[in-house]
């Protein structure tokens, strides 16, 4: 199911293309989400508001917003590497690129 969407025979290449392109789309979503979380003013106090849980909140809405940012950015980092590692499994050109980058044939 994970690789071929439970298809068999001639439908497997199409199903694999769907999962591969979905993987690339998910990689784009993770990268764009990380970009959107970067503060406009890149100073430590601004970055700290995004990556660290605060102790006090004015409202429940502020707490939820802070938790969303902190959990999201810290989850996006390992998720980026997991999804990036799946791209060579999904596409032969990405697999060839990995071999070229490390100098193997």
Is the CB of residue 70 less than 8 Å from the CB of residue 54? no
pLDDT at res. 3: 75
Segment 42-76, tens digit of pLDDT: 899 989 888 999 888 889 999 998 999 899 999 99
Confidence of residue 1 (pLDDT cuts 50, 70, 90): confident
pLDDT above 90: residue 40:
no
Which tens digits make up the pLDDT trace of 73-96?
999 999 999 999 999 999 999 999
What is the rounded distance in angstroms from the CA atom of residue 35 to the CA atom of residue 24?
Answer: 16
Query: What's the pLDDT tens digit per position in 5-29?
Result: 888 889 988 998 999 999 999 999 9
Phi, psi values for residue 34, rounded to 5°: -65, -40
- The pLDDT assigned to 80 comes to 96
């Amino acid at each position: 199911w994970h690789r071929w969407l439970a298809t068999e025979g001639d439908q497997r290449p199409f199903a694999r293309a769907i999962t591969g392109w979905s993987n690339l789309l998910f990689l784009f979503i993770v990268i764009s989400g990380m970009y959107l979380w970067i503060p406009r003013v890149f100073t430590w106090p601004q970055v700290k508001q995004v990556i660290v849980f605060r102790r006090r909140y004015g409202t429940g809405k502020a707490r939820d917003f802070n938790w969303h940012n902190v959990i999201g950015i810290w989850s996006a980092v390992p998720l980026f590497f997991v999804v990036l590692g799946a791209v060579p499994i999904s596409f032969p050109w990405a697999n060839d690129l990995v071999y070229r980058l490390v100098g193997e044939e």
